[in-house]
């Protein structure tokens, strides 16, 4: 789960990391009022959960209240990468002398948290890692032992001058504490800004959370923003389905994430375009199939639907029942191709046959068939 | 032979009184697995399918001599359950549970290794040595004894591949679902090393997917240390960046973890990568013949 910068700033501040004064605004008037309250100049920043807002005109430094009102009004009318801007962060503009980078995340390969540090902050860190990897310093934290402050200090001393080192060490320890205590997948300050001889401040903040940890943190779940997922994705999640919308026109309903991806890939391999990723999950009830079909058929571009089931825990007869219920309840506007194999296959096929439906048993055969039908528009 | 499990493996089911635990304990017994008991704290003394239920893993190990445990407990109890299994003297801990927070898994990974136990999973279908023992949730009937090892990050996609292998006459020595999470107990390299040493394994199929760099590392390892033929399949070629594709670990982030990079790494290591699951047997045949 992702949260907005204004939310991340508050969380960082609550963990003892200094941030410039600032507040969230949802109208131009409110933005001007906050600007007056915290004092000019201020930076007005669009709050959207995608990168590239600066390039899209979503960030503006202003020196008067009138300018603040105008900028806020303009930015609130922007749509950045399909996301309309609904909130702004109005923050005190700081005089940045030097930009650093500080981040903590999970390293999948080493199975440890990794601290990432750079004296060249303010740029895309992933790009920097590719182009100038020598500018990035890393230190790993043993999950059982916890942070080794001495080792961290040594790593940080290669990036920060003596006068800033204590602050940087403290900030990094706080970032790690936040990562662990709130089950984050990423905590990042970029730029971590030096604003005078001896002060560092978090001029921007990004925090992502591990979805699997959210059940432990109601206060984090409360920060969820609807925009991260489409209406369909949220509805699917509530029904216990895993769903991602894509650009194509062949809908897929599959059991298991790996098989669902392989099904999409096969559609593409034979010249089609998948409309979605959809995993009905392990113990799929007829109800889940019904919900899946309802969500898919809302897509106006849809030309055909492929149901690909390899029964393990999932029972083919449950899937067949779901298909039959859906046929009674909703008008399927496009051709449907079914592939059933595995647990209770015989029972599932029998149910379908009684209703005049047939099912393929090979995946490749089913994919070829769905593409023919989509093309014919039958 | 095969690896990790065989007909002598004694299995405890943690969470045996739950719906999934009970169902799959029965299915494993039917397959011929030596399931010797179950563990559910507070329900010690009960019986499930005629098997004794214990309050703790340590007690279960003491009474039954179990050397393997299969975990079905809900995600919020899974960390405690898998550490208890390792503490209790279980050598092979298999965790089916999906949804364990990744930061807990970082600790679990090192905890289990320090004790000297092996963890398979979490978020996996388990493993099977066809005809000898099944420790997991896969349909046993699609498997057939033979000499192909299978290592996979997926569940049903593994069934698809195994089904195709069996259909074309390739039986399996051991099939292992290593799990779809970002941090898992055993990876490709751990298992490739075991398959390389296993006299009954003639070739290995790797089923990978987008996310992380485990496939790239496996490709390097195959190039340097594996002499047996390896064939691969990678799912997620059409997955968009930044979106989690069902599995917690299946995500392309920061330009890393793409299917293209994985396919390229395998091909550079001399590992043919199938475009479709049903091409795997053919590629294996060519590899074995060469």
Range of the domain at B181: 139-289
Residue contact A258–B244, C-beta within 8 A: no
Give phi and psi for B269, each to the nearest 5: -90, 10
Contacts of B78 (CB under 8 A, 6+ apart): B71, B95, B97, B99, B100, B122
Query: What does the pLDDT read at residue A225?
Result: 83
Q: Give A 125-184 residues with CB within 8 A of chain B.
A: 126, 129-130, 142-144, 179-180, 183
Q: What is the chain B residue with the closest CA to A229?
A: B243
Q: B24 and B152: one domain?
A: no
Q: Of B61, B87, B120, which residue constitutes the final position of a domain? A: B120
Considering the domain boundaries, does residue B5 fall inside one? no
pLDDT of A285 reads 81
| B261 and B151 fall within a common domain | yes
The tokens for A84 are 């309309």
Confidence (pLDDT) at B173:
98
- Is A276 in contact with A252 (CB distance < 8 Å)? yes
Same domain assignment for residues B211 and B249: yes
- Residue A12's nearest CA partner among A167, A187, A161 is A187
- Helix, strand, or coil (residue B186): coil
> Is B130 part of any domain?
no
pLDDT of the residue at A73: 97
**Rounded to whole angstroms, how far apart are CA atoms B61 and B12?**
8
In the stretch 225-244 of chain A, residues with CB closer than 8 A to chain B read: 242, 244
Residue A128 to residue B67: CA distance in whole angstroms = 48
> What CATH number did the domain enclosing B33 receive?
3.40.50.720
**B217 contacts on A by Cβ (under 8 Å):** 109
Q: Are residues B143 and B248 in the same domain?
A: yes
- What is the crossing angle of helices B75-87 and B102-115, to 10°? 10
Measured between CB atoms, does A279 come within 8 Å of chain B?
yes
| Predicted local confidence at residue B290, as pLDDT | 60
Q: How far apart are CA B52 and CA B43, in angstroms?
A: 10
Residue B2 domain-assigned?
A: no
B167 touching A, CB under 8 A?
A: no
> Are B180 and B265 members of one domain?
yes
Separation between Cα atoms, residue A281 and residue A149, nearest integer Å: 43
* B1 in any annotated domain: no
Contact state of B238 with A268 under an 8 Å Cβ cutoff: yes
Query: Which helix (H) or strand (E) is B169 found in, with range?
Result: none
Alpha-carbon gap, residue B210 to B154, rounded angstroms: 11
Closest Cα in chain B, distance from residue A229 (Å): 10
**Which residues does residue A118 pair with via DSSP β-bridges, in sequence order?**
A101, A136
Helices (H), chain A: 5-14, 28-38, 65-76, 125-131, 149-157, 162-181, 218-221, 231-238, 257-269, 286-297, 316-329, 345-354, 363-376
Looking at the annotation, which residues of A are catalytic? 101, 188
Q: Which of B87, B120, B153 is the last residue of a domain?
A: B120
- What angle is formed at CA A80 by the lines to CA A78 and CA A85, rounded to 5 degrees? 50
The size of chain A, in residues, is 378
Same domain for B146 and B273?
Answer: yes
Pick the residue from chain B with its C-alpha nearest to A259.
B157
A313 contact residues in B (CB cutoff 8 A) = 20, 137
Assess whether B281 and B198 both reside in one domain.
Answer: yes
Tell whether B95 and B43 lie within a shared domain.
yes
SS3 content of chain A, % helix, strand, coil (to 5): 40, 25, 35
In a domain, B131, yes or no: no
d(CA A145, CA A23): 38
Other CB atoms within 10 A of residue A225 CB: 16
Give which of B98, B106, B110, B265 to mutate to test A binding, by max A Cβ within 10 Å. B106
Residues B50 and B93 grouped into a single domain: yes
B145's enclosing H/E stretch is strand B145-152
CA B123 remoteness from chain centre: 9
Q: Would you give per-residue pLDDT tens digits along chain B (290 residues)?
A: 799 999 999 999 999 999 889 999 999 999 999 999 999 999 999 999 999 999 999 999 999 999 999 999 999 999 999 999 999 999 999 999 999 999 999 999 999 999 999 999 999 999 999 999 999 999 999 999 999 999 999 999 999 999 999 999 999 999 999 999 999 999 999 999 999 999 999 999 999 999 999 999 999 999 999 999 999 999 999 999 988 999 989 988 878 899 999 999 999 999 999 999 999 999 999 999 86
Report CB contact under 8 Å: A258, B137.
Answer: no
Q: For position B256, which CATH number holds?
A: 3.40.50.261
- DSSP state at residue A2: B
Global pTM?
0.94
A233's CB contacts (< 8 A; 6+ apart) are A243, A244, A245
The answer to whether A106 faces chain B, any CB pair under 8 Å, is: yes
A262: phi then psi, degrees, rounded to nearest 5: -65, -35
CA A161 to chain centre: 35
Contacts of B139 in chain A (CB under 8 A): 311-312, 342-343
If we measure between CA atoms, which residue out of B218, B223, B220, B222 comes closest to residue B234? B218
Q: Is residue B127 part of a domain?
A: no
Calculate how close chain B gets to A268, using CA atoms only, in Å: 7
| DSSP secondary structure, A164-211, as one string | HHHHHHHHHHHHHHHHHHTTEEEEEEEEEEEEETTEEEESSEEEEE-G
Whether residue B237 lies within 8 A of chain A, CB to CB, comes out as yes
| CB pair distance less than 8 Å for A216 and B183 | no
Describe the strand order of the beta sheet including B145-152 as a list of residue ranges: B133-136, B126-129, B172-177, B145-152, B203-209, B230-235, B273-274
**Do B151 and B246 sit in the same domain of this protein?**
yes
In this structure, the number of other CB atoms found within 10 A of the CB of residue B169 comes to 10
pLDDT tens for the 378 residues of chain A, in order: 999 999 999 999 999 999 999 999 999 999 999 999 999 999 999 999 988 898 999 999 999 999 999 999 999 999 998 889 999 999 999 999 999 999 999 999 999 999 999 999 988 888 898 899 999 999 999 999 999 999 999 999 999 999 999 999 999 999 999 999 999 999 999 999 999 999 999 999 999 999 999 999 999 999 988 777 778 888 898 888 999 999 999 999 999 999 999 999 999 999 999 999 999 987 668 889 999 999 999 999 999 999 999 998 888 999 999 999 999 998 888 999 999 999 889 999 999 999 999 999 999 999 999 999 998 865
Contacts of A261 in chain B (CB under 8 A): 157, 209-210, 235-236, 238-239, 245-246, 250
User: How far is residue B158's CA from residue B169's CA, in Å, rounded to a whole number?
Assistant: 16
* Number of domains comprising chain B: 2
Residue B125 covered by a domain: no
Residue B127 near residue B175 (C-beta atoms within 8 A): yes
Residue B147 sits in the same domain as residue B112: no
Distance from CA of B15 to the nearest CA of A (A): 17
Q: Phi and psi dihedrals of A28, rounded to 5? A: -65, -40
Domain boundary among B56, B91, B120: B120
**pLDDT the model gives residue A158:** 97
**Predicted pLDDT at A284:** 66
The pLDDT, as a whole number, for residue A355 is 94
Quick check: is B175 in a domain?
Answer: yes
- Predicted confidence at residue A52, as pLDDT, reads 84
The reply to whether residue A258 touches residue B153, judged by beta carbons under 8 angstroms, is yes
Q: Is the ipTM of this complex over 0.90?
A: yes
Q: Please indicate, yes or no, whether residues B103 and B198 belong to a single structural domain of this protein.
A: no
**Residue pair A349/A316 in contact by the 8 Å Cβ criterion:** yes
Largest CA distance in chain B: 57
């Amino acid at each position: 789960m992702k949260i907005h910068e204004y939310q991340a700033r508050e969380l960082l501040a609550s963990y003892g990391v200094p941030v410039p004064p600032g507040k969230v605004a949802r109208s131009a008037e409110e933005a001007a009022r906050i600007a007056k309250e915290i004092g000019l100049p201020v930076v007005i920043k669009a709050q959207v959960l995608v990168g590239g807002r600066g390039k899209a005109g979503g960030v503006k430094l202003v020196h008067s209240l009138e300018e603040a009102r105008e900028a806020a009004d303009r930015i609130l009318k922007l749509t950045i990468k399909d996301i309309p801007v609904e909130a702004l962060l109005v923050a005190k503009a700081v005089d940045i002398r030097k930009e650093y980078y500080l981040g903590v995340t999970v390293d999948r390969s080493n199975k440890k948290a990794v601290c990432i540090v750079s004296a060249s902050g303010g740029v895309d860190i992933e790009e920097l890692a590719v182009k100038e990897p020598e500018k990035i310093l890393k230190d790993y934290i043993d999950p059982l032992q916890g942070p080794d402050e001495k080792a961290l200090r040594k790593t940080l001393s290669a990036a920060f001058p003596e006068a800033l080192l204590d602050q940087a060490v403290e900030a990094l320890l706080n970032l790690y504490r936040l990562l662990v205590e709130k089950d984050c997948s990423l905590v990042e300050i970029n730029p971590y800004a030096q604003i005078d001889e001896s002060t560092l401040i978090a001029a921007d903040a990004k925090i992502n959370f591990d979805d699997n940890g959210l059940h432990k943190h109601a206060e984090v779940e409360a920060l969820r923003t609807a925009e991260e997922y489409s209406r369909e994705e949220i509805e699917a999640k509530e029904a216990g389905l895993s769903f991602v919308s894509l650009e194509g026109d062949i809908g897929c309903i599959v059991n298991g994430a790996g098989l669902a991806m392989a099904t999409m890939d096969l559609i593409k391999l034979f010249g089609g375009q998948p409309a979605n990723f959809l995993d009905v999950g392990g113990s799929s009830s007829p109800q889940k199939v019904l919900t899946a079909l309802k969500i898919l058929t809302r897509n106006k571009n849809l030309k055909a639907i492929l149901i690909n089931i390899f029964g393990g825990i999932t029972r083919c007869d449950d899937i067949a029942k779901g298909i039959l219920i859906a046929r009674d309840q909703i008008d399927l506007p496009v051709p449907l191709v079914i592939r059933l194999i595995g647990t209770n296959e015989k029972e599932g096929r029998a149910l379908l046959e009684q209703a005049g439906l047939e099912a393929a048993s090979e995946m490749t055969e089913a994919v070829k068939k769905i593409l023919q039908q989509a093309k014919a528009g039958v | 032979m095969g690896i990790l499990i065989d007909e002598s493996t004694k299995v405890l089911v943690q969470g045996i009184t739950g719906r999934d635990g009970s169902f799959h304990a029965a299915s494993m017994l039917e397959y011929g697995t030596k399931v010797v008991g179950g563990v559910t704290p507070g329900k010690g003394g009960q019986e499930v399918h005629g098997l004794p239920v214990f309050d703790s893993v340590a007690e279960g190990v003491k009474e039954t001599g179990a050397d393997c445990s299969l975990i079905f407990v809900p995600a919020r109890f899974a960390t405690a359950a898998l550490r208890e299994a390792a503490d209790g003297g279980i050598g092979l801990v298999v965790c089916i549970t999906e949804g364990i927070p990744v930061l807990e898994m970082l600790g679990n990974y090192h905890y289990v290794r320090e004790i000297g136990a092996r963890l398979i999973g979490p978020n996996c279908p388990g493993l099977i040595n066809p005809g000898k023992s099944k420790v997991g949730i896969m349909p046993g009937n699609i498997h057939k004894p033979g000499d192909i090892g299978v290592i996979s990050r997926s569940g049903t996609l593994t069934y698809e591949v195994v089904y195709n292998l069996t259909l074309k006459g390739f039986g399996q020595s051991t099939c292992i679902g290593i799990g779809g999470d970002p941090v898992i107990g055993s990876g490709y390299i751990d298992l490739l090393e075991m398959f390389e040493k296993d006299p009954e394994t003639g070739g290995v199929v790797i089923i990978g997917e987008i996310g992380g760099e485990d496939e790239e590392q496996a490709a390097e390892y195959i190039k340097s240390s594996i002499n047996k033929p390896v064939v691969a399949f990678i799912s997620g070629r059409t997955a968009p960046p930044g979106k989690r594709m069902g599995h917690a670990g299946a995500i392309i982030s920061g330009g890393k973890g793409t299917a293209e990079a994985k396919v390229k790494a395998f091909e550079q290591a001399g590992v043919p990568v199938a475009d479709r699951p049903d091409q795997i047997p053919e590629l294996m045949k060519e590899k074995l013949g060469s």
